[in-house]
Structure 1
Amino acid sequence: MRTALASIPDGAVVIVALSGGADSLALAAATAFEARSRGMQVTSATIDHGLQDESADAAASAAAKAEALGIRSRVERVQVAGSDAGTEAAARDARYPALRRIAAEERAAAVLLGHTLDDQAETVLLGLARGSGAASLQGMAPRREDEDGTVWLRPMLGVRRATTEAFCAASDLEPWHDPHNREHRFARVRVRENVMPVLEAELGPGIAEALARTAEQLREDAEAFDEIIHETIEDIVEHAEAGISVSVAALAANPAALRNRIIRLVAHSEFGASLTRTQTLEVARLVTDWSGQGPIDLPGCSAARVGGRVVFTARQ
């Protein structure tokens, strides 16, 4: 906890995302304790998604617990829109903009999130099930800064959920138990209650820690790759009419892993497109298996080989 807050200057404002559950309640208490010695101002932000009949009461209770810890509290009600990705994703899509807005209004140095090592392990398993590559196995970063300057910190990624529950019990803090955390229609709940216990029983203890270590190692690799990619892109990318182009020879000279990352990064940075594995490989074939094939339709853009370059163009 202290290490995570070391980058925040004394006297700064921090936001604690407080659901009222054991994890966020333990985080709020620990942050309040640390803030006292550093003159930091702590505000809790409780987001009421309105997904349950008693959600307003739960949000008010969380705010009251924050006030009892000496923390100024804020409660925000958000509208959760329908989503093809499901209720969890829709709630997340509503929650993070609200937290970002609160952080801006409070001029906060960071928003603290109460994700634990168990949450990290579950995230890695869900990413593995999606099969979307190393990026999805990196889990949640301990620190992330958005383009608008919002800083997100997860100080408890090394802490087990059982520890936060024990802390709350020892501190006479009564956490809220979200009914959604027992509903097996949510994939994360099934991983938590069905998959993880089986893995622990069949493979031995320490599975959660091993998954969290895997995420950390993959993030380190990804950071190294990103540095290489950005250095490489400066030399091989040129702006083209209504788009951007990449040297075929330079792409061909790179290993497949680096080539595919460059393709994905170019599409995302220029057009906001997130390419699937299949789409990425189809673009790569313009370099490695060129036989005169025509343009490839991608989300928001198309890719075509023109002479010695792969040209990405915005779709009309």
Structure 2
Amino acid sequence: MATLAPSVAAIRVAVRRTLTEVRRDRPVLVACSGGADSLALAAAAAFVAPRLGIPVGLVTVDHGLQSGSEQRAVTVAKWAEQAGFAPVELATVTVEGRPGGPEAAARQARYQALGEVARRHGASAVLLGHTRDDQAETVLLALARGAGPRGLAGMPFRRERAGTTLLRPLLEVSREQTRKACAALGLTPWEDPHNTDPSYTRARVRADVLPVLVRALGAGVVDNLARTAKLVASDNAALDSLAGDAFEAARTADGGLAVPVLAGLPAAIRTRVLHAWSRELGATPAALSYGHVTSLDALITDWHGQGPTHLPGGIQVSRYRDALVALPADGGPAGGSGGGWDG
């Protein structure tokens, strides 16, 4: 009897552990680019899911950003059909014209397509092939941006996005393991040229920054960065729970926030409440910055009659008496009372 390669076994175990959390009467979908990480994930899902009685399909997305991308997607789809995936979908997206840089725009287009396919087939979840190395890179990028705990928590194992459950089974599996698994299974992964293109920030971190850290601090730095994300995510969950309770306690009858309640909160809780309220008012999360939340916080902790804080989406927040109240760009109410605006 042939010995199962340790890399293949490790990935199957990770996928099995993940699939115990999904419904068995609905399919799961694997997002597969054809690269080593997602290809190893797909191969493991094709082995594990049927043995758990879970239907498994596959989606590959053609971003149209490279010559030959369509053929690459067709090749992945044909392999998936032969491997027994059903359904198999090739989703073509348009990246140009979307907000943000090329990486952010491609990511937005990809997740939108994955969500549409998942909803169409009633999938319980979409499996993503991000590895421990991807998590380490994400933490480094967050550090470089000066991100807070939410950024340092990296990519979550589970995330709900526009009604679609996204799961990342391989966050504790290394990129080297996925490559070894593909080799052991006789699979030839696609090498995405964007992964080595220095015009992409993550590619520079992968090719230049992380190897320097490994040489200087040892190979364990990748594990340590990924572990940091996991620990910070756990702390975030606790703080977010406390902030949720504080948010409800601070609400006023007309949708504003009571300043005396906010003023009595620790900064870590208060700023989370302000961030959540801003999103509820309609501020786009991606555009909502540290500066916006700091300016809101100053209406509570450094009040000296200053004018309103302007949030993304044309929303203005002012302090009126002992409450924060908001006014949208159209001049109508957005949580808070009418006249008497300070500033």
TM bracket, shorter-chain basis: over 0.9
Aligned letter for 1:89? A
Q: Compared with structure 1, are the counterparts of its residues 255 and 142 closer, same or farther at alpha carbon in structure 2 (3 Å cutoff)?
A: same
Quick one: distance in 1 between partners of 2:253 and 2:66? 50
Give SS of 1:9's match: coil
For residue 161 of structure 1, the aligned residue among 163, 167, 175 is: 175
Shift of 1:208: 1.1
Query: For 1:18-77, what per-residue CA distance to the aligned partner results, in whole angstroms no more than 9, with x for missing partners?
Result: 101111111111001112212221111011111111011100111122223222321111
**Residue from 138, 141, 156 that aligns with 1:123:** 138
Give the conservation status (yes or no) of the 8 Å contact 1:12–1:39.
no
- Please identify, of 279-288 and 26-35, the stretch whose mean Cα deviation from structure 2 is larger: 279-288
Q: Which runs of 5+ in 1 are unaligned?
A: none
Q: Among 74, 80, 84, which residue is 2:89 paired with?
A: 74
- Indicate whether 1:222 and 2:233 are aligned: no
Any runs of at least 4 consecutive aligned residues in structure 1 with deviations exceeding 3 A, and if so which? none
Secondary structure of 1:304's aligned partner: strand
Q: Over the residues paired in the alignment, what is the CA RMSD in angstroms?
A: 1.4
How far apart, in 2, do the equivalents of 1:145 and 1:296 lie? 30
Question: CA–CA distance in 1 between the matches of 2:311 and 2:194?
Answer: 36
> Does structure 1 residue 101 correspond to structure 2 residue 116?
yes
2:19–2:49 CA contact under 8 A, matched in 1: no
8 Å Cα contact 1:11/1:38 also seen in 2: no
The 5-angstrom pairing of residues 210-289 of structure 1 reads 210-240=224-254, 244-274=255-285, 275-289=288-302
Structure 2: distance between partners of 1:151 and 1:11: 15
TM superposition shift of 1:273: 4.1
2:198 partner amino acid? H
Q: Provide the residue aligned with 2:322 in structure 1.
A: 308
Q: Residue 80 of structure 1 aligns to a residue in which SS?
A: coil
Q: Measure the CA separation in 2 of the matches of 1:138 and 1:79.
A: 30
Moved more, 251-260 or 153-162: 251-260
Number of residue pairs aligned between Structure 1 and Structure 2: 312
Q: CA-to-partner distance for each residue in 1:158-192, whole Å, 9 max, x for gaps?
A: 00000000000011001111111111110001000
Structure 1 residue 11: Cα displacement: 4.2
Of 60, 63, 68, the match for 1:54: 68
Moved more, 110-119 or 230-239: 230-239
Does the Cα contact within 8 Å between 2:115 and 2:162 map onto a contact in 1? no
How do 1:120-159 and structure 2 match up within 5 A?
Answer: 120-148=135-163, 150-159=164-173
**TM-score in terms of structure 1 length:** 0.95
Aligned to 2:306: 293
TM-aligned CA distance change 1:88 to 1:111, over 3 Å: same
CA drift of 1:146 comes to 3.1
On the 8 A contact 1:18/1:45 being kept in 2, the answer is yes
**1:147 Cα deviation from its structure 2 partner:** 4.8
In structure 2, relative to structure 1, the CA distance for the partners of 1:55 and 1:147 (3 Å cut) is closer
| Match in the other structure for 1:2 | 16
Shift of 1:256: 1.5
Aligned-pair CA distance for 1:228: 0.7
Name the CA distance, whole Å, in 1 between partners of 2:119 and 2:292. Answer: 37
Q: Secondary structure at the match of 1:176?
A: coil
1:179-221 CA distances to partner (integer Å, 9 max, x unpaired)?
1111111000100010010000111121111111111111111
Does residue 39 of structure 1 match 2:53?
A: yes
Instruction: Tell whether 2:40 aligns with 1:26.
Output: yes
Residue of structure 1 aligned with 2:30, choices 16, 20, 42: 16
Alignment identity in percent?
44
- Hey, what does 1:188 align to over in structure 2? 202
Inter-partner Cα distance in structure 2 for 1:9 and 1:85: 35
